[in-house]
């Protein structure tokens, strides 16, 4: 379980300081799929970076399985991150001249695992994500959707308990984006905890919990029930930008259009 308690994060000092997170608290159980939603600059990546131990909070605690990660030394954090956290980014951050196999094996190269073992483990994950025939291709030769699958493979290779995905569909078209969300759902079903940042409400409704954030403050925490998740599979409920269509408003608009059309007909008839 990840428990974020009364987290604040201030960037800078004095008059030019900025309170990016203000008393943020929420928790996510093992094996749950949580999404963080909010406008640009609201603090979504900042939260993910704190949970991923890339950055540390100004105050507050983050407890992961009874351990307060905010109290760890740099050395402990390094080991913790490598073992427990898999990160997926909007712009993939693959090494373009390296092969898919080398990219996926990278976290183990950094951890000092020998070549034979890291390649065998990387190959296993590559196969499980249906990327076998791309294993020896350079990362730069892949499509966006394939690149994101490779970066998910890299996040999975050390078998971490937590996957953090910061707008993983941001650079993808809707079909590839949908496939990435479905893959994250599968990863979650396999027992891992997944935290996703997205702007897309259609994707957000497929998760277990939605945390909405505005200007560094949590404005809403919504538990998605099965009905909501099933509804989210029907894109007809959403407009082209993935926003939930307000059915009452659509009815009002079409009534208004009928009235206007009737007025036009009346005028032609006059």
Q: Is 91 near ligand ATP (CB under 6 A)?
A: no
Which of Mg ion, ligand ATP, none sits in contact with 135, Cβ below 5 to 8 A by type?
none
Least distance from Mg ion to the Cβ atom of residue 178, Å: 21
Least distance from ligand ATP to the Cβ atom of residue 256, Å: 35
**42 or 99: CB nearest ligand ATP:** 42
**45 or 200: CB nearest Mg ion:** 45
**43 or 242: CB nearest ligand ATP:** 43
Least distance from ligand ATP to the Cβ atom of residue 52, Å: 12
> CB-based burial of residue 12 (10 Å sphere; 0-12 exposed, 13-18 middle, 19+ buried)?
exposed
- Cβ atoms of residues 88 and 81 within 8 Å: no
**45 or 151: CB nearest Mg ion:** 45
One-character DSSP codes across the chain: -EEEEEEEEEES-GGG-EEEEEEEEEEE-TT-EEEEE--TTSSHHHHHHHHTTSS--SEEEEEETTEEGGG--HHHHHHHHHHHEEEEETT----TTSBHHHHHHHHHHHTT--HHHHHHHHHHHHHHTT-GGGTTSBGGGS-HHHHHHHHHHHHHTT--SEEEEESTTTTS-HHHHHHHHHHHHHHHHTT-EEEEEES-HHHHTTSSEEEEEETTEEEEEEE--HHHHHHHT-GGGB-TTSPBP-HHHHHHHHHHHHHHHHHHHHHHH-
φ, ψ at 190 (rounded to 5°): -80, 0
Q: Which parts of this chain interact with Mg ion (CB under 5 A)? A: 45
**55 or 179: CB nearest ligand ATP:** 55
- Cβ atoms of residues 18 and 54 within 8 Å: no
Which of Mg ion, ligand ATP, none sits in contact with 38, Cβ below 5 to 8 A by type?
ligand ATP
Site string for ligand ATP, 16-55 (x = CB under 6 A): --x-x-----------------x-xxxxxxx---------
Binding part of the chain for ligand ATP, among 10-18, 81-89, 98-106, 247-255 by CB under 6 A, reads: 10-18
Nearest to 31 by CA among 141, 166, 152, 189: 189
Least distance from ligand ATP to the Cβ atom of residue 182, Å: 23
**45 or 158: CB nearest Mg ion:** 45
Which of ligand ATP, Mg ion, none sits in contact with 46, Cβ below 5 to 8 A by type?
ligand ATP
**151 or 200: CB nearest ligand ATP:** 200
Least distance from ligand ATP to the Cβ atom of residue 201, Å: 14
Least distance from ligand ATP to the Cβ atom of residue 11, Å: 3
Give me the residues that bind ligand ATP (CB under 6 A), please. Answer: 11-12, 18, 20, 38, 40-46
């Amino acid at each position: 379980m990840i428990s974020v308690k009364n987290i604040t994060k201030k960037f800078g000092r004095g008059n030019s300081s900025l309170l990016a997170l203000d008393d943020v608290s929420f928790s996510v159980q093992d094996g749950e799929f949580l999404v963080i939603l909010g406008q640009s600059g609201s603090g979504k990546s900042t939260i993910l970076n704190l949970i991923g131990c890339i950055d540390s909070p100004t105050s507050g605690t983050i407890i992961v399985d009874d351990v307060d990660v905010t109290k760890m030394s740099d050395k402990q954090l390094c080991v913790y991150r490598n073992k427990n956290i898999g990160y997926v980014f909007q712009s993939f951050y693959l090494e373009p001249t390296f092969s898919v196999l080398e990219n996926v094996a990278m976290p183990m190269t950094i951890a000092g695992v020998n070549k034979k073992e890291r390649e065998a483990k990387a190959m296993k994950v590559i196969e499980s994500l249906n990327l076998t025939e791309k294993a020896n291709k350079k990362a730069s030769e892949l499509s966006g959707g394939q690149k994101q699958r490779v970066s998910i493979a890299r996040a999975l290779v050390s078998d971490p308990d937590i996957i953090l995905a910061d707008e993983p569909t941001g650079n993808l078209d809707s079909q590839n984006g949908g496939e990435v969300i479905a893959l994250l759902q599968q990863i979650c079903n396999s027992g891992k905890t997944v935290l996703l940042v997205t702007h897309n409400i259609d994707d957000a409704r497929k998760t277990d919990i939605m945390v909405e954030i505005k200007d560094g403050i949590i404005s809403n925490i919504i538990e998605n029930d099965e009905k909501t998740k099933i509804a989210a599979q029907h894109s007809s409920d959403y407009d082209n930008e993935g926003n939930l269509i307000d059915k009452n408003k659509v009815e009002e608009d079409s009534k208004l259009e009928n009235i206007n059309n009737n007025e036009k007909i009346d005028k032609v008839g006059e």
